[in-house]
Amino acid sequence: MSQPTASGPRLLASYIPVSAGPWLSEADQVFDAGTIFDYIDGAGEVYRSYNMRHLVARRFHKDGRPDIVVDAFDMGSAADAFGVFTHDLDGADAAIGQGSTYKAGLLSFWKDRYFLSVYAEEETAETKRELLELGRTIAAAIPGTGERPGLLKLLPEEGLEPGRVRFFHNHSVLNYHFFVAADDILRLAQTADAVLADYRECGGRSRLLVVSYADPPAAAKAGASFAGAYMPDARQGAGMSTGNRKWTAFRVRGRFVAVVFDAASEAGARARLDAVERLIDGDKRGE
């Protein structure tokens, strides 16, 4: 995992061009996890939840045209750059960096340990063209690439919707994507790594949540906490029919907890957990 240096913000700023077509840049603003609220108020919590290190904000101005704003985040690791990118996956793939979306005047992408938001205050054909060009320029200037979180390897491929995979560390973000419980019953606590993925089911969609904890005892405690709060009358590995006539099941394996929500059948939920378990065991053998 690469670590930022004292020159982190300067390095990050060096990846952003000083002009974008006829737009010229203004002075950079630099924020860290303690000062980001000065820039985007409480919304900064999203980026803090992914362990952001620095943000370089550069505004481009051209009289008579909408401003363009580049918000470039050094997230400290490629896993968290990927994670914060997955917070909002709506939009069309712009084929920029290691993953990107474009929608309504906003280009988002990640590359290496960086997450970029390139935004036009008003979408026009010209700003869209400039945003995409700016994004391509920045992506090309970032020399390295980064690895997606290893936890994604524990997602069985069958039925997986690749564009609907989220990586995160706390229950507020989990609830943003899929409400599980008001409290942190899975003990994510900002220290765990978690991946939530959507799976196609006949007539609907199920979710698979896989959480990686520091060690097996932590996973066991989290599993017990989840079972006690969410499905106190179910055995581990057994399914529980929920009020929507779908099935939930969970399993603890080593330092991992896996939960299937909204499966069409108990057998389907168990089969998905079996597949996760095989991937965990295979991963261990590869270590």
Q: Is 52 in the site for other proteins (CB under 8 A)?
A: no
SS3 257: strand
To other proteins, the closest distance from the beta carbon of 169 in angstroms equals: 15
To other proteins, the closest distance from the beta carbon of 117 in angstroms equals: 4
Q: Among residues 182, 214, 190, which one has the least CA distance to residue 83?
A: 190
| From 45-53, 155-163, 212-220, 275-283, span contacting other proteins (CB under 8 A) | 45-53
The single residue among 75, 180, 194, 269 that binds other proteins, judged by CB under 8 A, is 180
Query: Residue 130 corresponds to which tokens in the numbers above?
Result: 């400039």
To other proteins, the closest distance from the beta carbon of 192 in angstroms equals: 17
To other proteins, the closest distance from the beta carbon of 26 in angstroms equals: 15
Q: Among residues 34, 32, 120, which one has the least CA distance to residue 70?
A: 120
Reported for 92-95, long-range contacts at CB under 8 A and 24+ positions apart, including other chains, are: 94/132, 94/135
Q: Is 183 in the site for other proteins (CB under 8 A)?
A: yes
The CB density around residue 235, as the number of other CB atoms within 10 Å, is: 10
Q: Is 92 in the site for other proteins (CB under 8 A)?
A: no
- DSSP calls for 123-149: --HHHHHHHHHHHHHHHHHS----PPP
The CB density around residue 34, as the number of other CB atoms within 10 Å, is: 9
Q: Is 176 in the site for other proteins (CB under 8 A)?
A: yes
Q: What angle do CA 60, 26, 66 make, to 5 degrees?
A: 25
The single residue among 30, 40, 89, 271 that binds other proteins, judged by CB under 8 A, is 40
To other proteins, the closest distance from the beta carbon of 173 in angstroms equals: 9
Q: Is 106 in the site for other proteins (CB under 8 A)?
A: yes
To other proteins, the closest distance from the beta carbon of 157 in angstroms equals: 26
Query: Residue 126 corresponds to which tokens in the numbers above?
Result: 């010209």
Instruction: Decide whether 69 or 274 has the Cβ nearer to other proteins.
Output: 69
The single residue among 28, 61, 62, 69 that binds other proteins, judged by CB under 8 A, is 69
Cα(195)–Cα(191) distance, integer angstroms: 13
| From 37-45, 136-144, 160-168, 195-203, span contacting other proteins (CB under 8 A) | 37-45
Query: Residue 7 corresponds to which tokens in the numbers above?
Result: 């020159």
In what helix (H) or strand (E) does residue 106 lie, and over which residues does it extend? strand 106-111
Q: Which residue ranges make up the site for other proteins (CB under 8 A)?
A: 37, 40-47, 69, 71, 88, 90, 103-106, 108, 117, 119, 121-123, 172, 175-177, 179-183, 185, 229-231, 242-245, 248, 261
